[in-house]
A = this chain, B = another copy of it.
Amino acid sequence: MSLAQPAFQDVYPDDLSHCYGCGSNNPQGHQLKSYWLEQEGKQAQTIAHFTPKECHTAIPGFVYGGLIASLIDCHGTGSACAMAYKQAGRELGSSPSMRFVTGKLDVNFLAPTPLGPELTLLGTFSEVKDRKICIDIVVMCEGVKCASGHVIAVKMPENMGQQK
């Protein structure tokens, strides 16, 4: 990950940046930031980091599953957006904007996720089409794979962004 690159979510248009999970215009939300994982000669992957707050408890000592599902969801749609720009040969965030929404979200909880340490989400693309992008995501905590997810992201209907 290079700090020189912007987070995918930070180049969303202002009027599409209110998502509780990842919108930079939602001060109460998680503000998840996803990036390209820079690796020479390997398949494109994406990465995000997030440190849950104390309130994000399941039972004491562990992260609640809804947060993990939310992070997988937003890392998935953010990664889909970035991949769509990459495939089109366009600069990330350039107009007209390309946003993706979640069609299907599957999460496997593999091990209890300890509350406290930073989580790392790693995304790998399994299907890339114009209007549908699929991403496999793993959630790691201190080297342990705690959850895996699969996101089917679909291009946002054009009329959806206009509705307030």
**Chain A: residues with CB nearer than 8 A to chain B?**
15-16, 18-21, 23, 26, 28-29, 55-62, 64-67, 69-71, 73-74, 99, 101-109, 112, 156, 160-161, 163-164
Q: Considering the chains assembled together, what is the distance between the CA atoms of A19 and B62 in angstroms?
A: 9
Q: Considering the chains assembled together, what is the distance between the CA atoms of A56 and B70 in angstroms?
A: 12
Question: Shortest beta-carbon distance, A30 to chain B, in Å?
Answer: 8
Given contacts A105-B106, A105-B107, A107-B105, contact A66 B74 (CB under 8 A): yes
Question: Shortest beta-carbon distance, A115 to chain B, in Å?
Answer: 10
- Which B residue sits closest to A17, measured CB to CB? B59
Question: Chain B residues with Cβ under 8 A from A23's Cβ?
Answer: 57
Are A20's CB and B66's CB within 8 A?
Answer: yes
Question: Chain B residues with Cβ under 8 A from A21's Cβ?
Answer: 64-66
7 tightest A-B contacts by CB? Answer: A66-B70, A69-B69, A28-B55, A20-B64, A105-B107, A18-B57, A106-B106
Given contacts A67-B20, A69-B66, A69-B70, contact A58 B108 (CB under 8 A): no
Question: Chain B residues with Cβ under 8 A from A58's Cβ?
Answer: 18-20, 101
Question: Shortest beta-carbon distance, A98 to chain B, in Å?
Answer: 13
Question: Chain B residues with Cβ under 8 A from A67's Cβ?
Answer: 20, 66, 70
